[in-house]
């Protein structure tokens, strides 16, 4: 009998809560959910925070990539950073308490990643971070804050490139918790590329002639530093207008950017084609067939490197340096002259070139799952003391919350004001702590007391 089997036979399946919130999380979780589904010893649960909720930023990825319907959706929606992070913390905690996962797995660097990690570690639940250790060293990027904090919290750190190992070691993370496993976003690319190549997006956008695709470029922009200031956005788009003189530029517009462009009055080059965000298969097809990609996306820097397509990143820095040192990526910042000059070089047949980084081979999810199973069987992946100490107190808190709301009160505070019920509930709940039948009876009595006050 293998060691793994012995452990899971006794202790049931390894329950893993997988967290998604925003578009790039969906691309990264797809291969992981698929891989976990192959192991009977794992029970994968999917939780969507609802950070992204538009059909084109969320549902289409579930459909196209075969991601299972989430077991839970926190439906948090949009808001300020603090509000969104806090709402996720509040809404995820009772689900973690009730469902008692053995591990919470987070991907990437969005607000959902940080919030889920924080809620989990405070309950003593181990966290695995996929795409750990990336650093832009630019603290004005909201994602950089999310990366640093998530990596400080996580117990298991899965990295895509060597530099990330150095970053984590400098921050004091233990070497034996860091694993270079490759890139799950590139797993998805390997899995879906041949299907994507059958997409009709080329004909829908009029990008085909008798010989196949005409030369065209793809543009995406959604970083706050590029799109939140209208002045910066217009400057960037004026550079893109110059690129559009040379070839059509397809620009699927992120909702953050769309909301800024709504107020813009400037007319752009007719070959700069603004379209709504497109589904994964159509987008992968566009990337694959394009002559040039201009972007400020994190994931797209990696996908173009994997595809060998020239990429100009409209940022001053990148948290993914391997895409520059080994891949096809060049940092051109926000300077229109630099952007246009670099684009013209590429279109003149002088691209930078590049190679695919080590382990970006379509097997990253397999490696992650293998490591998690190994850690579980060796006992590293066990609940820490914090959880066992806190569990009863926290469960009691949520049981009381549920009781208050079942009794029709808007808040525990309102309930507390009713002195006689307060006394009664306290005594019943304290008996119920050690005695489940007494608790059930107490809850029943309180409910009937409400119906017949
Ligand atoms: C988020 C991530 C960013 C990631 C990007 C991927 C954070 C801090 N940012 O940025 O790292 O690169 O997702 O696309 O987590 N909106 C919609 N529909 C939606 C979602 C958002 O219209 O389904 C609009 C709302 O007006 C919202 C704005 O887009 O205020 C920004 O959404 P938000 O999730 O806060 O940040 P993103 O810019 O999408
Ligand atoms: N993507 C997509 N449709 C689009 C734009 C992007 O399917 O219109 C995919 C892209 O291929 C990549 C992911 O979304 O897999 C990247 O997401 P995004 O750029 O929003 O986030 P980031 O990677 O910057 O966090």
Answer whether residue 189 is part of any domain.
no
Q: Tell me which residue has its CA closest to atom 21 in ligand 1.
A: 52
Quick one: 147 and 67 in the same domain? Answer: yes
Q: Which residues pair with 36 in a beta bridge?
A: none
User: Does residue 75 contact residue 50 with C-beta atoms inside 8 Å?
Assistant: yes
Ligand 1 lined by 111 (C-beta under 6 Å): yes
pLDDT of residue 399: 76
What is the per-residue pLDDT across 329-356, written as a single tens digit (0 to 9) for each?
A: 999 999 999 999 999 999 999 999 999 9
What span, in angstroms and rounded, lies between the C-alpha atoms of 424 and 430? 10
Under-50 pLDDT residues of the chain: 1-10, 385-386, 451-453
Quick one: 223 and 255 in the same domain? Answer: yes
Q: What is the CATH number of the domain that holds 272?
A: 3.40.50.2000
What DSSP designation does 318 have?
A: -
Query: Mutate which of 23, 220, 256 to test ligand 1's pocket (most atoms within 8 Å of Cβ)?
Result: 256
User: Does residue 179 contact residue 186 with C-beta atoms inside 8 Å?
Assistant: no
pLDDT of residue 417: 59
Quick one: 375 and 392 in the same domain? Answer: no
Answer whether residue 93 is part of any domain.
yes
Ligand 2 lined by 31 (C-beta under 6 Å): no
Domain stops at, among 319, 347, 375: 347
What is the per-residue pLDDT across 176-185, written as a single tens digit (0 to 9) for each?
A: 999 999 999 9
pTM: 0.89
Answer whether residue 187 is part of any domain.
no
* Pairing state between β 249-252 and 311-313: unpaired
Q: What are phi and psi of 378, to 5 degrees?
A: -90, 0
pLDDT of residue 405: 72
Provide the domain count of the chain: 3
Q: Please give the distance, rounded to the nearest whole angstrom, from the Cα atom of residue 85 to the centre of ligand 1.
A: 13
Q: What is the largest CA-CA distance in the chain?
A: 83
Residue 10: give the domain boundaries.
3-182+363-383
Q: Tell me which residue has its CA closest to atom 9 in ligand 2.
A: 280
Mean pLDDT, the chain, integer: 90
Quick one: 253 and 300 in the same domain? Answer: yes
Quick one: 372 and 333 in the same domain? Answer: no
The token pair at 31 is: 């291969």
Atom of ligand 1 lying closest to residue 254 CA: 14
pLDDT of residue 10: 38
What would the 3-class secondary structure string for 342-355 be?
HHHHHHCCCCCCCC
User: Does residue 121 contact residue 127 with C-beta atoms inside 8 Å?
Assistant: yes
Quick one: 262 and 296 in the same domain? Answer: yes
Quick one: 333 and 422 in the same domain? Answer: no
Task: Name the closest ligand to CA 296.
Answer: 2
The token pair at 350 is: 């002088």
- Beta-carbon-side half-sphere exposure of residue 451 (alpha carbons within 13 Å): 7
Quick one: 100 and 12 in the same domain? Answer: yes
What is the per-residue pLDDT across 393-405, written as a single tens digit (0 to 9) for each?
A: 677 777 777 776 7
Determine whether 222 is an active site residue: yes
Answer whether residue 355 is part of any domain.
no
Quick one: 53 and 69 in the same domain? Answer: yes
What span, in angstroms and rounded, lies between the C-alpha atoms of 208 and 213? 4
**What are the DSSP calls for 109-151, one per residue?**
SSHHHHHHHHHHHHTT--EEEETTT-----TTSHHHHHHHHHH
Quick one: 54 and 83 in the same domain? Answer: yes
Q: How far is CA 340 from CA 231, 254, 311, 333, 389, in A?
A: 18, 22, 13, 11, 60
Quick one: 154 and 223 in the same domain? Answer: no
Q: Please give the distance, rounded to the nearest whole angstrom, from the Cα atom of residue 350 to the centre of ligand 1.
A: 35
Quick one: 178 and 208 in the same domain? Answer: no
Answer whether residue 194 is part of any domain.
no
**What are the DSSP calls for 257-310, one per residue?**
HHHHHTT------TTEEEE----HHHHHHHHHH-SEEEE--HHHHHHHHHHT--
Answer whether residue 352 is part of any domain.
no
Answer whether residue 354 is part of any domain.
no
Ligand 2 lined by 299 (C-beta under 6 Å): yes
What span, in angstroms and rounded, lies between the C-alpha atoms of 3 and 63? 37
Q: Tell me which residue has its CA closest to atom 17 in ligand 2.
A: 24
Answer whether residue 30 is part of any domain.
yes
pLDDT of residue 452: 38
Strands in 178-281 per DSSP E: 178-180, 208-209, 212-213, 217-220, 249-252, 272-275
Task: Name the closest ligand to CA 111.
Answer: 1
């Amino acid at each position: 009998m293998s060691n793994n089997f012995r452990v899971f036979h006794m202790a049931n399946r390894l329950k893993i809560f997988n967290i998604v919130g925003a578009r790039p999380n969906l691309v990264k979780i797809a291969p992981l959910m698929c891989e976990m589904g192959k192991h009977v010893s794992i029970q994968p649960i999917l939780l969507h925070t609802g950070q992204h909720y538009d059909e084109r930023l969320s549902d289409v990825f579930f459909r196209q990539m075969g991601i299972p319907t989430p077991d839970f959706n926190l439906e948090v929606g949009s808001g300020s950073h603090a509000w969104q992070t806090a709402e996720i913390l509040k809404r995820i905690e009772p689900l973690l308490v009730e469902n008692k996962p053995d591990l919470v797995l987070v991907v990437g660097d969005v607000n959902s990643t940080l919030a889920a990690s924080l809620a989990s570690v405070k309950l003593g639940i181990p966290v695995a971070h996929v795409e750990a250790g990336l650093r832009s060293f630019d603290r004005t990027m909201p994602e950089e804050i999310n990366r640093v904090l998530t990596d400080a919290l996580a117990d298991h750190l899965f990295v895509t490139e060597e530099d990330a190992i150095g970053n984590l070691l400098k921050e004091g993370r233990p070497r034996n918790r860091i694993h270079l496993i490759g890139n799950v976003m590139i797993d998805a690319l390997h899995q879906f590329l041949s299907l994507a190549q059958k997409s009709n997006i080329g004909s829908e956008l009029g990008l085909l002639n008798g010989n196949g695709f005409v030369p065209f470029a793809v543009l995406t922009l959604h970083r706050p530093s590029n799109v939140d200031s209208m002045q910066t956005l217009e400057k960037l788009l004026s550079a893109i207008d110059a690129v559009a003189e040379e070839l059509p530029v397809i620009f699927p517009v992120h909702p953050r950017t769309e909301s800024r462009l709504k107020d813009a009055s400037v007319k752009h080059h007719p070959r700069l084609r603004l379209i709504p965000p497109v589904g994964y298969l159509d987008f992968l097809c566009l990337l694959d067939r394009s002559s040039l990609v201009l972007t400020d996306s994190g994931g797209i820097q990696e996908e173009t490197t994997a595809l060998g397509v020239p990429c100009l990143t409209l940022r001053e820095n990148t948290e993914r340096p391997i895409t520059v040192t080994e891949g096809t990526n060049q940092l051109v910042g926000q300077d229109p002259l630099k952007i246009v000059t670099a684009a013209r070089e590429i279109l003149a047949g002088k691209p930078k070139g590049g190679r695919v980084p080590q382990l970006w081979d379509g097997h990253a999810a397999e490696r992650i799952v293998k490591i998690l199973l190994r850690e579980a069987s060796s006992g590293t992946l066990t609940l820490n003391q914090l959880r066992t100490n806190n569990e009863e107190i926290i469960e009691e808190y949520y049981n009381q919350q549920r009781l208050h709301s079942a009794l029709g009160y808007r808040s525990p505070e309102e309930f507390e004001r009713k002195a006689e019920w307060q006394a009664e509930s306290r005594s019943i709940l304290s008996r119920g702590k050690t005695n489940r039948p007494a608790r059930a009876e107490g809850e029943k009595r309180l409910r009937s007391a409400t119906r017949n006050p």
